[in-house]
Amino acid sequence: MRQGRRLNESARYEVQDYLRARRGRPYGQMAAELSRDPDAAPIAPVQLERLHAWTTRPEDRRDEILDSLVRYLRESLRKGWGVGIHWQLNANIALSFWLSNWGYKDKDELRALEHEIRQLNPEAGWIPKDADDPIIQEAAKRVWPTE
């Protein structure tokens, strides 16, 4: 039993280390990277998305939620915020998947975060590079003010 726990903890840290080393990179890109080995089973983006949420420690949750948000937006807004005829649809799909992946504990806060990003009305072409993006950080401050 103890050995099984250690294996689970070890795998958890490997997943988190992999994700942290690639902050902001879309899940699809990482899945393609991991699937290059012809001797290994392919990895689907949804597997990484779920592992990201499932393996995050409680004390890292907010940072990882923001990182995941950026990953979803970067994947969906290829031309940027407000650009192209399908940008709103793509943004809505990305935000819906992000919310369903992380929202089981913090649904109201995540909806508020999405609302704040929309209220900040990013300029046309905006694509956050990482969770330190000023718009992402401002929205987070409005939802989770520091004490």
Model confidence at 140, in pLDDT bands (50, 70, 90)?
A: very high
d(CA 16, CA 93): 25
SS3 assignment for 36-94: CCCCCCCCCHHHHHHHHHHHCCHHHHHHHHHHHHHHHHHHHCCCCCCCCCCHHHHHHHH
* Confidence (pTM): 0.88
- Over the stretch 70-86, which tens digit does the pLDDT of each residue have? 999 999 999 999 999 99
- How much is the pLDDT for 4? 38
Q: What is the mean pLDDT of the chain?
A: 89
The tally of domains found in the chain comes to 1
Question: Would you state the pLDDT for residue 110?
Answer: 94
pLDDT, tens only, 38-74: 888 898 999 999 999 999 999 999 999 999 999 999 9
Average pLDDT over residues 17-41: 91
| Structural domain span for residue 89 | 2-143
In this predicted model, what pLDDT tens digit does every residue of 91-108 receive, in sequence order? 999 999 999 999 877 889
Percent of the chain with pLDDT over 90: 73
